[in-house]
Amino acid sequence: MKKRISFYFLLTIIMGVIALGCSSEEASKQASSSDANVREISVGVGSNFEPYAYIDNDNQPAGYDVAVLKEINRRLPQYQFKYQSIELKNLLLSLDAKKIQIATQQFEKNPDREEKYLFTNEGFANYDKRLVIAKGRTDIKTIDDLVGKKVGCAQGSNTAAILEKYNQTHQQKINIVYVQNASSAVYDDIVNGRLDAGVMTRKTFKRNQEAFGDGLDIVNDSLFSKSEAYFILSKNETQLRDDIDKVLKEMKEDGTLSKLSYEYTNSDYDVE
Amino acid sequence: MGSLFDIRLVFEYFPLIFSRFPITLLIVVVAIGAGLVLGLFIALVRMRKVLLLNQFAILYVSFVRGTPIIVQLFIIYYGFPLLLEQVGIDITQWEKIYFVLVTYGLNNAAFMSEIIRSAISSVPDGQREAAYSVGLSRWQALRRVILPQAFLNAFPVFGTRVVNTFESTSLAFTLGILDMVGQAQAIGSRTYHELEGYVVLAIIFIAISMILEKLFVHAEKRFIQQRR
pLDDT per residue as tens digits for the range A234-245: 999 999 999 999
User: A58-98 pLDDT, tens per residue?
Assistant: 889 999 999 999 999 999 999 999 999 998 888 999 999 98
The whole-angstrom distance between B36's CA and the closest CA on chain A is: 16
Residue B208's nearest CA partner among B170, B157, B155 is B170
CA B205-B210-B215 angle, 5° bins: 130
Residue A30 scores a pLDDT above 50: no
Residue B162 lies in a domain: no
Query: Under a CB-based contact definition with an 8 Å cutoff, are residues A124 and A248 in contact?
Result: yes
- Considering the four listed CATH numbers 3.40.190.10, 3.40.1350.10, 3.40.50.300, 3.30.1490.190, the one that applies to the domain covering A39-126+228-265 is 3.40.190.10
d(CA B13, CA B184): 8
Mean pLDDT of B211-216: 92
Q: Are residues B56 and B4 in the same domain?
A: no
Residue B12 scores a pLDDT above 60: yes
Verify whether the Cβ–Cβ distance A85 to B195 is below 8 Å: no
Verify whether the Cβ–Cβ distance B190 to A56 is below 8 Å: yes
Q: Are residues B144 and B72 in the same domain?
A: yes
Verify whether the Cβ–Cβ distance A55 to B189 is below 8 Å: yes
Residue B27 lies in a domain: yes
User: B128-176 pLDDT, tens per residue?
Assistant: 899 999 999 988 888 888 888 898 888 989 999 999 999 999 888 888 8
User: B35-90 pLDDT, tens per residue?
Assistant: 999 999 999 899 888 899 999 999 999 999 999 999 999 999 999 998 888 888 88
The whole-angstrom distance between A31's CA and the closest CA on chain B is: 12
The identity of residue B166, as a single letter, is: F
pLDDT in the model for residue A31:
45
Q: Are residues B198 and B108 in the same domain?
A: no
Strand partners, A176: A151
Residue A203 host element (H or E): helix A202-212
What are the residue boundaries of the structural domains of chain A, listed by start?
39-126+228-265, 129-218
Mean pLDDT of B194-203: 90
Q: Are residues B107 and B183 in the same domain?
A: no
Establish if A16 touches chain B: CB-CB under 8 angstroms: yes
Provide the percentage of residues in chain B whose pLDDT is more than 90: 54
d(CA A184, CA A186): 5
| Strand extents, DSSP E, A2-128 | 39-46, 48-49, 53-55, 61-62, 79-86, 102-107, 118-119, 125-126
pLDDT tier for residue A4 given thresholds of 50, 70 and 90: low
Residue A47's nearest CA partner among A126, A106, A114 is A106
DSSP secondary structure string for all residues of A151-195: EEEETTSHHHHHHHHHHHH-SSPBEEEEE-S-HHHHHHHHHTTSS
φ/ψ (deg, to 5) at A154:
-85, 140
Q: Are residues B217 and B152 in the same domain?
A: no
H helices of chain B, in order, are: 7-18, 21-48, 53-66, 69-74, 80-86, 96-121, 125-133, 138-141, 147-168, 180-191, 195-227
φ/ψ (deg, to 5) at A240:
-60, -40
Residue A104 scores a pLDDT above 90: yes
Strand partners, B146: none
The whole-angstrom distance between A12's CA and the closest CA on chain B is: 11
Establish if A58 touches chain B: CB-CB under 8 angstroms: no
pLDDT in the model for residue A197:
93
The residue of chain A with its CA nearest to that of B101 is: A21
Establish if A208 touches chain B: CB-CB under 8 angstroms: yes
CATH placement of domain A129-218 = 3.40.190.10
d(CA A97, CA A112): 18
Q: Are residues B15 and B103 in the same domain?
A: no
Verify whether the Cβ–Cβ distance A90 to B95 is below 8 Å: no
Comparing A20-29, A85-94, B97-106, which segment has the lowest mean pLDDT?
A: A20-29
Residue B185 lies in a domain: yes
The whole-angstrom distance between B211's CA and the closest CA on chain A is: 14
A207: which residues sit within 8 A by CB, 6+ positions away?
A50, A51, A183, B192
pLDDT in the model for residue A222:
86
Verify whether the Cβ–Cβ distance A59 to B178 is below 8 Å: yes
Residue B166 lies in a domain: no
Chain B residues in contact with A84 (beta carbon < 8 A): 96, 176
DSSP assigned state of A223: -
Residue B182 scores a pLDDT above 80: yes
pLDDT in the model for residue B228:
63
For B50, the domain range is: 23-157
Residue B99 lies in a domain: yes
Verify whether the Cβ–Cβ distance B92 to A207 is below 8 Å: no
pLDDT tier for residue B194 given thresholds of 50, 70 and 90: confident
Q: Are residues B96 and B8 in the same domain?
A: no
Mean pLDDT of A45-68: 91
A128 burial level (CB within 10 Å; 0-12, 13-18, 19+): middle
Q: Are residues B27 and B69 in the same domain?
A: yes
d(CA A50, CA B192): 8
Residue B54 lies in a domain: yes
Q: Are residues B130 and B72 in the same domain?
A: yes
* Number of structural domains found in chain B: 2
φ/ψ (deg, to 5) at A184:
-65, -35
Provide the percentage of residues in chain A whose pLDDT is more than 70: 85
pLDDT in the model for residue A210:
85
The residue of chain B with its CA nearest to that of A188 is: B4
The identity of residue B90, as a single letter, is: D
Buried b / exposed e across B134-147, counting CB within 10 Å, b at 16+? eebeeeebbeebbb
Residue B76 lies in a domain: yes
Q: Are residues B12 and B86 in the same domain?
A: no
Q: Average pLDDT of chain B?
A: 90
CATH of residue B113's domain is: 1.10.3720.10
Q: Are residues B145 and B53 in the same domain?
A: yes
DSSP assigned state of A121: S
Q: Are residues B50 and B126 in the same domain?
A: yes
pLDDT in the model for residue A71:
95
User: A139-186 pLDDT, tens per residue?
Assistant: 998 999 999 999 998 887 889 899 999 999 999 999 999 887 556 678
